Amino acid sequence: QSALTQPASVSGSPGQSITISCTGTSSDVGSYNLVSWYQLHPGKAPKFMIYEDNKRPSGVSTRFSGSRSGNTASLTISGLQAEDEADYYCCSYAGSTTYVFGTGTTVTVL
């Protein structure tokens, strides 16, 4: 069970849109509609941003959206804001009540 692959870093200017990819395999991302995304700010616990590939929990900004195609899921942040600068991790169900996280992406707002 290997970590899902994410780009190490993505950057954008305020107001722009960025997309973070999350590539797995047919044993995890590709087999289930169960990719979730988490935002980590330094010194704080992870925040739950997206579940079931593209659903937003209550209270999460509509600027965050998720999608999935085959073995690759994506998180898009539109209207980038300074407060979006953080680390982002995807996570996928991998069968038999096990899960796997992505390698993580640092988002920088220029």
Partner 1 sequence: EVQLVQSGAEVKKPGESLKISCMGSGYNFAASWIAWVRQMPGKGLEWMGIIYPGDSDARYSPSIQGHFTISADKSISATYLQWSSLEASDTALYYCARLSPYGGSFDYWGQGTLVTVSS
Question: Given candidates 11, 15, 52, 79, which one binds partner 1 under the rule CB under 8 A?
Answer: 52
Q: Does 103 bind partner 1 (CB under 8 A)?
A: yes
Give the largest CA-CA distance in the chain.
41
User: Computed over its alpha carbons, how large is the radius of gyration of the chain?
Assistant: 13
Q: How far is the CB of 37 from partner 1 (least distance, A)?
A: 9
The closest alpha carbon to 2, from 20, 41, 37, 28, belongs to: 28
Closest distance of CB 68 from partner 1, Å: 12
Select from 101, 74, 65, 53 the least CA-distant residue to 10. 74
Choice from 12, 19, 27, 40 touching partner 1 (CB under 8 A): 40
Give the bridge partners for 73, in sequence order. Answer: 22, 68
Pairing of strands 9-12, 105-109: parallel
| Residue 21 binds partner 1, judged by CB under 8 A | no
Q: Name the minimum Å distance from CB 17 to partner 1.
A: 23
Residues that bind partner 1 in the complex, under the rule CB under 8 A? 1-3, 32-34, 36, 38, 40, 45-48, 51-52, 57, 87, 89, 91, 93, 96-104
